Amino acid sequence: PEPAPLPDEPETEAEVMGLPKLERGLRWGSIFLGALGGLLGLLASLWLYDYVLALIARDDWIGWVAVVLLGLVLVALLMIILRELVGLMRLGRLDKIRHEADRAARQNDKPLAVDVTRRLKRFYRGREDLAWGMQRLTEHEHDIMDAEELLRLSERTLVAPLDPVARAIVASSAKRVSVVTAISPNALVDMMFVAAQNMRMLRKLATLYGARPGTLSLMKLARMTVTHIVLTGGIALGDDVIQQLVGHGLTARLSRKLGEGVFNGALTTRIGIATIDVCRPLPYIEQQRPRFRELVAEVVGLS
C-alpha cells in the first residue's frame, strides 16, 4: 500500500499556533497614500514643465540665468540621489560580506571563504591605509587551505588595523557626551547634543569601515544598530552597572548632573560597540570584541 501523504506544513505563525487564518481585504490606506503620492508627483512635474517653458520663452539674461540655476539644481539633486544609492549599496555589501564570512567560518566552507576574501579585497581596493595589509593578504592567501585560517588572515591584515581607530572614535564621542551632559544646564540641549553626537559617531564608524553613508544609509545604519542592541540583550545601564564601574560609595556622592553624564557616556559607548558590530565586514575570529566595561571605565577616567 502507498504511504499516506504527509499533511501540509503550516506556513504562517497563526497556523502554527492553531489560530484561524484571517482574510485580508484591500489595503485602502496604501492605495490612498500611493494615489496621493502619484498625484502630487504629477502636479509637480506639470508645474516644472510649464515653468521651464516660461523661462525658455524669455529671451533675455534673466531667463537664461534661471535656466542655468535650474540645471545646477537638477544636477545637484541627481548627485545627491546617486550618493544615497551608493551609500545604501555599500552598507548592504558590508552586511552581506559579514554574514557570509560568519557562515564560512562556522561551516569551514573554503570556497565561500575565498569568495568573501576576494570581495573584501575589492571593497577596500585603493585605500592607502590598508595598502600594506592588502599586499600581505595577496602574497599569502593562496598558501592557506583552511577556511577559518583564511578569514583569520583577512581579518588580521584588512580589518584589525581599523579596530583601534574605531575604539578611539567611540571613546572620544562618549567622553564628549559625558562632559557636555554634566555641565549643560538644559535637558533639551542635552538630548539634542547626545543625538547629534551619536549620529556623528555612527557616520565616522561607517566611513572608517568603508560604508560612505549618506542621509538615508545613516538612518538605515541607526535602525540596524538599534535592532542589533535589542537582539543582543538590550542596554543594561542601571545603577548597579554604574556602581560597579566607579565604585559603590562614590556614586552616592556624585551630583545628579555628573551621574547623568556618566550614564549618557555609557549609553553612547554601548551604541558605538553595536555600530562596530554592524559595520565591521568580518566577525570577530581572532581579534577581541571591545569590552563595554573597559570602554566605560576609560570614558570616566578610571582606566
Residue 249's pLDDT band, with cuts at 50, 70 and 90, is very low
Grid coordinates belonging to 268: 553612547
Could you give the angle at which helices 131-140 and 110-123 cross, rounded to 10 degrees?
150
Structure confidence by residue, pLDDT tens digits, 257-271: 677 778 888 888 889
pLDDT at 167: 92
Asked whether 276 and 290 are in contact (CB, 8 A), the reply is yes
205, burial (CB in 10 Å: exposed 0-12, middle 13-18, buried 19+): buried
What is the rounded average pLDDT for all residues in the chain?
80
Quote the percentage of the chain above a pLDDT of 70.
81
pTM for this entry = 0.74
Q: Is the pLDDT of residue 204 over 90?
A: yes
Q: Is the pLDDT of residue 254 over 60?
A: no
Structure confidence by residue, pLDDT tens digits, 15-66: 544 545 545 556 777 888 888 888 898 888 888 778 777 777 766 677 778 7
Q: Is the pLDDT of residue 150 over 60?
A: yes
Name the helix (H) or strand (E) containing 122: helix 110-123
Q: Is the pLDDT of residue 14 over 50?
A: no
